[in-house]
Amino acid sequence: QQQVKQSPQSLIVQKGGISIINCAYENTAFDYFPWYQQFPGKGPALLIAIRPDVSEKKEGRFTISFNKSAKQFSLHIMDSQPGDSATYFCAASIGGYSSASKIIFGSGTRLSIRP
């Protein structure tokens, strides 16, 4: 129940196309859903995050779509660029304003953008 399932494992997209990565969860207590971007040999960096009280959040070319009833959420990268080539992790946690919580990571998606 603590798992976050992520797909696909790898993804190749043409430059300018839309990259879509999907995640699903079981634990309805999760209330914070971040996405991380990781380049080889580097730590993950927070890309964008959403809370379940909204269905969509957009920041630049990155959009999270959230379906609370289906317990699914996805990352859309519009106008994908070669510089977006990285591994992307979805995650979930039970957050709080005054306490730190564990983040449960998905298995990751290796995204390659073809020039």
CB atoms within 10 A of CB 47: 20
Pairing of strands 62-67, 56-59: antiparallel
Measured from the CB of residue 79, what is the shortest distance to another protein in angstroms? 26
Of 25, 106, 111, 113, the one binding another protein by CB under 8 A: 106
Integer angstrom CA distances of residue 104 from 2, 14, 59: 7, 30, 23
Contact map string, positions 26 to 55, toward another protein, x by CB under 8 A: ------x-x-x----xxxxxx--x-x----
Binding site for another protein (CB under 8 A): 32, 34, 36, 41-46, 49, 51, 89, 95-103, 105-108, 110
